[in-house]
Structure 1
Amino acid sequence: MNSLGNTPTDGDLIDWDRDHHLHPWAGMKGFGTDEYMRVNTGDGIYLWDSKGKRYIDGPGGMWCTQIGYGRQEMADTIAAQVMQMPYASPWSFTTEPAAILARMIAERAPGDLNTVHFTTGGSTAVDTALRTALFMNNRLGRPDKKIVIGREKGYHGSTFLAATVTGKERFETRFEKAQDLVRFLPDVNPYHRPAGMSLEAWCDAKVADLENLIAEVGAERIAAFIAEPILCSGGVIVPPPGYHKRTLEICRANDILYISDEVVTGFGRLGHWFASEEVYGIVPDMITSAKGLTSGYLPLGACIISDAVMQRISDAPGDDVFYNGYTYSGHPVSCAAAIKNIEIMEREDILGHVRRVTPQFQARLQRIKDKFPIVGDIRGDGLLGCIECQPGLKTDSYEEHLKFGQLLDDACEELGLLLRPFGNMAVFSPPLIISAAQIDEMFDIMEAGMTKVSAGYSI
């Protein structure tokens, strides 16, 4: 109903959204003119827009709809918790869902990562991890050990500290960052290695980048290294084999905390609760998570901290208050949704399902590369994938890449598939419940869209 008690028309909703709703990453010159697709319903891996057209949700919402849409038991759980206890101040109280979920996360996290600090999402989980690293060094009497190492093309969020350590080149915006707190390692993408260089040699070079930066800045000034197991928003960049283990060893040797940003890769995306240890063989000092933690049904994030870090913080002298938290930390309704999400994933063996369908998913990606000369690279792991095209452009610029990506997005959308275009790249992270037949349906549409768009380009 609108303020007059009338049911809003489609035109009303379009106007109100244009006039009053500032969307993430909205262009300011176009504010008040853009029209976003309005999605009304969802079920499983599908979404329906306001006109009733069905789409496969290729991006899985925002990398997060693990168990799919329309889960009645999630709705029932959320409603029951709202009626029992909708909110409790985390400064003064705890709740049953918060306590249970903290234990459930600790049981599934690798190694000694047993302490959970709940946040509102991925950005605030990253901010918490970074603040914890700085807090630890202040407690240890090392106020100059503050610099954080990030990676080019890494994405960690939109809050001040999270944006500071984000290394995506197109994020050089008018928003301020704490530039004095961060140093970036060069691109780790194997696709961009020099012609003729082996993966092993590329890995050596990327590890040397970290060693050289530490030597330049000084280990006594570096607090943490933050790294995604897979650089998802950067284009699903999978570092070369062995890179994660070797960089972790360097961090440990130099007393630099290793933060694994698993906001995307955590909670099943690669077929495990967390990718750090199960996939890449590392146990970091902290893990950040969100997104798949609730399958997107409600906002929730978590920073998971190792016993070793907690012990160092606890044992140090002086002011020991952890001045970090949020009004909605450990929100009981969000925690109840996360508990139910984990229960569903375990009952339905969704992690096992991901591992079983991954070969088919990755094979269909490879088929696109084999079929279309315009495709330069495909990459991914689990139910994560990226297609990077190399269209023949008059001007090889990011603006021209955006135009190409929009054409591909439009072609697939017309055929019933939503993509997440990143310039000349298209990214996939569908709901983890996607079936073998639906994987084929999704990539059949992708191939049809690619056929239509590639006809207008050469390589």
Structure 2
Amino acid sequence: MAAAEWIVGTQNGQGAHSVELAKRHLVQPWPEAGEIGSEARALIEGGEGIYITDGEGKRLIDGPAGMWCVNVGHRREELARVMYDQAMQLSYNTPWYTMNAPSAVLAERIAGHAPGDLSHVFYTTGGSTAVESALRFMQFYNNVRGRPEKKLILSRGGAYHGSTYLSASLNGRPRDRDWMNGADDLVVKLSSPNAFRRPAGMTVEAFADGLVAEFEETVQRLGADRIGAFVGEPVQASGGVVLPPGNYLQRIRGICRDNDILFIADEVVTAFGRLGHVFASGEVFGLDPDMITFAKGVTSGYFPLGGMIVSDRLLAELRRSNHPTAMYAHGLTYTSHPVGCAVALANLDLLENGVLEHTRAMAPYFQAQLKTLEELPLVGEVRGIGLMACVECVADRESRNPLQLDKNVGERIDAHCHELGLLVRPLINMCVMSPPLVITKEQIDDMVGILREGISRTMDDLRKEGVWRG
């Protein structure tokens, strides 16, 4: 089928053929072995604003904004037109020995929003490759400085940093590594900063103190001369929108600085508007990382693009080294892609000219309305910041245990919400919400109302099946 025929066919609702093709030829991300290469997932055929349209023509609120990324909303003509214009001007150039103007202009604008002395940008194709690039830079940096043993990476339980080999090795979510290998000799896992799961009777302050003490003990035990970097999301997104307790992140940053450990803030989700700022590290959490990784919202999902921002101090130290010809032998075919960078520039225009301000205005209402779901007995906690939140369901509020007999309660809620007009991001016993940043108060009310009904219907189902007696 030719491209033009496929687009017209999809617009005419001829999605059944696509479903059959997927079952015969498409391998989906994160498949289970029993269905790999033979499954079809919910078909999405269109989008506009905060809404998407599924294969049956049902209009849904895009609760997860694609994958945390469609920040300025679907069907923005400004972005589509820039994509076309740039492709007609220059569709591609090799980054190995040429460059393009959009990448340089975008780098300057990104640097202008970054905290501290982060002023240089290296582009990748997405979040996984951004984290991979940052870790490889850490290795290169320490090799050039004559410290080849300083390569260990500290990560945390509940973390998600990507799907490439080294970035995936950092992941700390349940099920991520059950059947997959990783660079276990390079990665040291610390405890999750999820205060909702802290020991019974412990205050949040004491929980934070324990996390910091664990970090300090780990550095002392392993030796600062062997630890190259700490990688952490300011908000653990796919881990269930876990917010750091108190000034925990600032304290960890101080320990890293004192021990010459690079602090890498993984802002693949939180950057470009999700918390109302281009970067959350400085504006929200008061951090000055050595590197920041980004992706997703940089183009609002209209084009695959990611990157890392590197401290001027690190680059200056490399330039002063005794190895001027040492090569950072790392790059990607689509590094600094001209179309992606042009789209990101237009996306940044939209963010700076109203979307960021709108996000900051909507965030308190969004969080307050979702918090009302804690009235439901199945809901253990609603937590969030900016326009991202998690509704965590539990079998028993006192013990805070997730449902032991039904770990797919999130999928049950999502199925009910889909019928009612809302797409949810289900994560085992959690529902994650991160809608497009252009959402209005009225649309927030619609979203929360549907989610409330979806949870209520799920509670009825669980009671009828004897799975839950809440």
Aligned match of 1:77:
82
Q: Tell me how far apart the structure 2 counterparts of residues 325 and 399 of structure 1 sit (CA, whole Å).
A: 45
Q: Tell me how far apart the structure 2 counterparts of residues 334 and 398 of structure 1 sit (CA, whole Å).
A: 42
Aligned match of 2:469:
458
Give the stretch that moved more between structures: 180-189 or 383-392: 383-392
Q: CA deviation at 1:397?
A: 7.7
Q: CA deviation at 1:2?
A: 6.3
Q: CA deviation at 1:32?
A: 4.4
Q: CA deviation at 1:346?
A: 1.6
The aligned runs of 1:95-110 (5 Å cut-off) are 95-110=100-115
Answer whether contact 1:409 1:420 (CA < 8 A) is retained. yes
1:357 is matched by which residue type in structure 2?
Answer: M
2:438 match: secondary structure: coil
Note if 1:387 corresponds to 2:391: yes
Q: Can you give the 5+ residue segments of structure 2 that lack an aligned partner in the other structure?
A: none
Aligned match of 1:436:
441
Q: CA deviation at 1:28?
A: 2.1
Aligned match of 1:294:
299
Note if 1:114 corresponds to 2:125: no
Q: Tell me how far apart the structure 2 counterparts of residues 332 and 438 of structure 1 sit (CA, whole Å).
A: 35
Answer whether contact 1:398 1:423 (CA < 8 A) is retained. no
Q: CA deviation at 1:19?
A: 1.3
Q: CA deviation at 1:10?
A: 3.8
Aligned match of 1:229:
234
The aligned runs of 1:19-418 (5 Å cut-off) are 19-318=24-323, 319-347=325-353, 349-369=354-374, 371-391=375-395, 400-418=405-423
Q: Tell me how far apart the structure 2 counterparts of residues 255 and 13 of structure 1 sit (CA, whole Å).
A: 52
Give the stretch that moved more between structures: 160-169 or 25-34: 25-34
Answer whether contact 2:161 2:170 (CA < 8 A) is retained. yes
2:428 is matched by which residue type in structure 1?
Answer: G
Q: Tell me how far apart the structure 2 counterparts of residues 391 and 331 of structure 1 sit (CA, whole Å).
A: 48
Answer whether contact 1:374 1:458 (CA < 8 A) is retained. no
1:434 match: secondary structure: coil
2:98 match: secondary structure: coil
How many residues align? The count is 454
Q: Tell me how far apart the structure 2 counterparts of residues 361 and 222 of structure 1 sit (CA, whole Å).
A: 40
2:339 is matched by which residue type in structure 1?
Answer: V
1:310 is matched by which residue type in structure 2?
Answer: L
Q: Tell me how far apart the structure 2 counterparts of residues 23 and 186 of structure 1 sit (CA, whole Å).
A: 31
Q: Tell me how far apart the structure 2 counterparts of residues 169 and 71 of structure 1 sit (CA, whole Å).
A: 36
2:469 is matched by which residue type in structure 1?
Answer: S
Answer whether contact 2:394 2:402 (CA < 8 A) is retained. no
Give the stretch that moved more between structures: 104-113 or 191-200: 191-200
Q: CA deviation at 1:21?
A: 0.8
Q: Tell me how far apart the structure 2 counterparts of residues 67 and 423 of structure 1 sit (CA, whole Å).
A: 28
Q: CA deviation at 1:169?
A: 2.8
Q: Tell me how far apart the structure 2 counterparts of residues 135 and 428 of structure 1 sit (CA, whole Å).
A: 38
- Percent of aligned positions with the same letter in both sequences? 44
Answer whether contact 2:124 2:336 (CA < 8 A) is retained. yes
Q: Calculate the TM-score normalised by the size of structure 2.
A: 0.94
The structure-2 alpha-carbon separation of the partners of 1:30 and 1:424, relative to structure 1 and needing over 3 Å to count, comes to same
Q: Tell me how far apart the structure 1 counterparts of residues 286 and 352 of structure 2 sit (CA, whole Å).
A: 23
Q: Tell me how far apart the structure 1 counterparts of residues 447 and 288 of structure 2 sit (CA, whole Å).
A: 35
Cα deviations across residues 164-199 of structure 1 (Å, max 9, x unaligned)?
111123112333211100001012100011222111
Answer whether contact 1:230 1:239 (CA < 8 A) is retained. yes
Answer whether contact 2:120 2:311 (CA < 8 A) is retained. yes
Q: Tell me how far apart the structure 2 counterparts of residues 419 and 391 of structure 1 sit (CA, whole Å).
A: 20
Q: Tell me how far apart the structure 2 counterparts of residues 335 and 327 of structure 1 sit (CA, whole Å).
A: 14
2:408 match: secondary structure: helix
Q: CA deviation at 1:392?
A: 6.1
Cα deviations across residues 327-356 of structure 1 (Å, max 9, x unaligned)?
000000000000000011122x11111111
1:346 is matched by which residue type in structure 2?
Answer: E
1:224 is matched by which residue type in structure 2?
Answer: A
Cα deviations across residues 102-123 of structure 1 (Å, max 9, x unaligned)?
1111111111100000001000
2:357 match: secondary structure: helix
